[in-house]
Amino acid sequence: MTYIKKAKSILEREKWIYATFSGIVVLYIFYSYISQEPTPFPEIYIKTVYIAATITLSLSSIIYFFYLVIKKERRPLEKFKLVLKIPFSNPLESLNLLIILSLISVIFSIYTTIKLAIPKNIFFYLDPYLINLDRTIHFGIDPWKITHYLFSSPLFSAVINLFYNLWFFVCWIFLVVFSCLYNMKELRNTTLISFLLCWIINGSISATLLSSVGPCFYDLLYEGSHQFSELMQILNQQNMYLKKEGYFLGVWSLNTQNMLWESYISQSSEFGSGISAMPSMHVSMATLMALATYSLKKWIGLVFWLYMIIIMIGSVHLGWHYALDGYVGALMTTGIWFSVAKLSKKRYNSTRSLD
């Protein structure tokens, strides 16, 4: 197959991913025009993605080499060299993967720009309603009190925090793996398009309309409030205990929350900055990963559904979110996934009938 034919084949396969991205960019340009928000500069995200890609490639290569050695492969170096040649034997596919990762970087930049503008567009208003509704659906009890009753040990909090912090790395590996599932076009397209839409529909549009800060920032925003002082006191005490006892693990979310609040006060624009609670993007992405991996392999999907539950618990336990943030994030993501899956199936069925 010539390079031109190969390029056309790749573009045909990726057209709906590129179309989704283009639609998001057009909508953002319109939003930027009417709201006079600055156009995002995705350099920092592109650098982060490329650094992450380099580290992932390096680590996976090392792990694969040791796997060959442990497996007692007769000629591990020869087989290892064959694997290393794959990106160079498919340069157009490698270029396409880099383009897709770059486009995702732009989406992250748009998401962060909109997230930073939330209090300017619609100032945080929903928290009091979410608090009351959270209590109502949990039989008059704050959800964080339930999680801290079930997982009262400081070590439990530290382990939950570890899983919560691993979310970014799990998401990244998931994204790279599904980007490379070229032999499963329908699942791959459904996953990548859903991924893009979740960050815009859930993380940008819904987050703006449902403007809220979450428990960890509530008392800081509403001066004189002590709504979540007990929760934050428990987390701080647990963190101090873990440090005193010499544990490597800690309640690391506290430092991140302080950093985000300082960034909000100083109105600085940094990597990962911005405050938003409803809906939870941690839960949204964990749900997407569970849905996608379950479609790939049921047993892998069950592992990711368990991880999603841990993220849901962690989002409440660590003070980031109200339980409703997670419920809404999961439901919206499920709706996006099945809508995209239905359209993808319809499109691939019509393509097969034409063939």
Residue 26 φ/ψ, nearest 5 degrees: -60, -45
Q: How distant, in Å, are the alpha carbons of 42, 170, 219, 260 from that of 271?
A: 10, 19, 25, 10
> 3-state DSSP call for residue 322?
coil
Query: Residue 103: pLDDT above 90?
Result: no
Position 275 pLDDT exceeds 70: yes
Whether residue 84 is predicted with pLDDT greater than 60 in this model: the reply is no
| pLDDT 10s digits, 292-305 | 999 999 999 999 99
pTM of the model as a whole: 0.88
- DSSP character at residue 280: P
3-state secondary structure (DSSP) of residue 182: coil
How confident is the model at residue 344, as a pLDDT? Answer: 82
Burial class (CB in 10 A: 0-12, 13-18, 19+), 222: middle
Angstrom distance (rounded) from CA 19 to CA 187: 17
Structure tokens at 95: 């270029």
Residue 158 has pLDDT above 80, yes or no: yes
Which residue type, as a one-letter code, is found at position 329?
A: G
- How many CB atoms within 10 Å of residue 226? 11
- Amino acid, single-letter form, for residue 55: I
What pLDDT score was predicted for residue 156?
Answer: 96
Tens of pLDDT, residues 171-208: 988 988 888 888 888 899 999 999 999 999 999 999 99
For 199-232, write each residue's pLDDT tens digit: 999 999 999 999 999 999 999 998 878 899 999 9
pLDDT of residue 89: 64
Residue 141 has pLDDT above 90, yes or no: yes
Q: pLDDT value at position 81?
A: 63
Given this model, what pLDDT does residue 56 score? Answer: 67
Percent of the chain clearing pLDDT 90 (strictly above): 53
For residue 90, what pLDDT is reported? 72
% of the chain surpassing 70 pLDDT: 82
What pLDDT does 326 receive? 97
Model pLDDT for residues 304-355, shown as the tens digit of each residue: 999 999 999 999 999 999 999 999 999 999 999 999 999 887 776 665 554 5
Written as one letter, the residue type at 186 is E
Task: Quickly count helices (H) and strands (E) in the chain.
Answer: 17, 0
